[in-house]
Amino acid sequence: MNRESLLLDMFAAMQNELGNSEWWPAESAFEVMVGAVLTQNTNWKNVEKAIHALKDQKMLTPQAILALPQDELAALIRPAGYFNVKAKRLQNLLRWFQETADYSFAALDTFSTDDLRAELLTVNGIGQETADSILLYALERPSFVVDTYTRRIFNRHSLVEEDIYYDDLRDYFMDVLPQDVQLFNEYHALVVRVAKEWCLKKEPRCETCPLQPFLE
């Protein structure tokens, strides 16, 4: 079986078991952008608390966040953890957004996906996973997001090396799958859900996993 067929069959098996994921939970593209920074090294429940705090103070706009002193922003996003670091990273991203597009998502349409990804990666504190999350979930660009869950599942299926580089793991999917935003969105969401329910770091539940038929 070729790689495209295998990956699509694995996708179908996960989706048949779990149904649609409907990611990313947010009211706007900007909220997704903020959440992509806040979710670094924490769980989504903590991110939601931080976003709600920004909303309660009517601070969930790029202009308001950039105008806040960094310590005040850190206090608002405290539930997300690493709040001092994330406040700085978030303001770095929004400063880039202002300088590059004057806070306009439409203005970013002039960039190719590759060029926009390269631009995002110049922002201090925006790594590959965060950049791809912004591209896919906020900007609706076909940029596949991979993470520790992706690495764990596909390594356990003997498809990739455990120490594979991020870009090589991303290319493992992007080189063969249709460049489809909805497919990439749902694929990443399903991988995360399967990893949390079955492909646990310790004591994986392989026998009942929807991907069990694909184990060698």
pLDDT of residue 27: 86
In tens, the pLDDT along 81-103 reads 999 999 999 999 999 999 999 99
- Domain 3-22+144-214 and domain 29-138 have a common topology: no
User: Using a CB cutoff of 8 Å and minimum separation of 24, what contacts does 173-176 make?
Assistant: 173/7, 173/144, 173/146, 174/142, 174/143, 174/144, 175/3, 176/2, 176/3, 176/4, 176/7
In tens, the pLDDT along 18-58 reads 999 988 888 899 999 999 999 999 988 999 999 999 999 99
Question: In the 8-state DSSP scheme, what is residue 112?
Answer: -
pTM: 0.95
pLDDT of residue 1: 75
Domain positions in the chain are: 3-22+144-214, 29-138
Residues of the chain scoring pLDDT < 70: none
Architecture in CATH for domain 3-22+144-214: Orthogonal Bundle (1.10)
pLDDT of residue 179: 96
Is CATH 1.10.340.30 the classification given to domain 29-138?
yes
